Amino acid sequence: MKKIIAAAVALSAMALAAAPAAAFTYPAAGVTAQEVAAVIRAKGLTAEITTDEQGDPMIKGSSDDLNWRVYFYGCEGGRCSSLQFSAGFDLDDGLTAAKCNEWNYTKRFGRCALDGEQDPYVRYDIDVAKGYSSETMAYAFETWTLIVPTFSEFIGY
């Protein structure tokens, strides 16, 4: 009998340890940089919180040896109503508008844009103003970490 109870306790402990953290809903006013950084860090990546040129929060991160940023918009009282994942690529010869448009036409997630030197950027916007959860933020981040290497390969980086 003691062996059965010990086995049941051990199995219960293993199930609790394997259970994911409970998802929670962010307030309707949006998310904070700390909340987004926590999702990124939970995936085993670094997330350095800093500020952009306008003084809004910004996160510097990387995955698959590719650097990217998370920009925050519509910030009031530390909560921001939308955010944008962005990765830029400095190419020797730039990228043609036709190649950028090919990406935009054939890919549903991630938008290609060119800077003044024809260097490509891929961006992914998320509106969190009307409510969002830690679980959906994790899914959005997983999508981002698939977009970046796919885009990098597409542009020949």
Position 27 scores a pLDDT of 86
What pLDDT, in 10s, does the model give residues 104-131?
999 999 999 999 999 999 999 999 998 8
Write down the pTM of the prediction.
0.84
8 A C-beta contact, residue 13 and residue 124? no
Task: Report the alpha-carbon distance of residue 131 to residue 127 in Å, rounded.
Answer: 9
Cβ distance 145 to 63 under 8 Å? Answer: yes
Rounded CA separation 41/121 (Å): 24
Average pLDDT for the chain: 88
Q: Please report, for residues 46, 131, 142, the alpha-carbon distance to residue 40 in angstroms, rounded to integers and kept in the order given.
A: 7, 19, 9
- What the chain holds in terms of domains, given with CATH numbers, is 2-154 (3.30.1460.10)
Token output for 146: 């698939």
Burial tier of 155 (Cβ tally within 10 Å: 0-12, 13-18, 19+):
middle
In terms of Cα–Cα distance, which of 149, 151, 147 is closest to 95?
Answer: 151
For residue 52, pLDDT beyond 60: yes
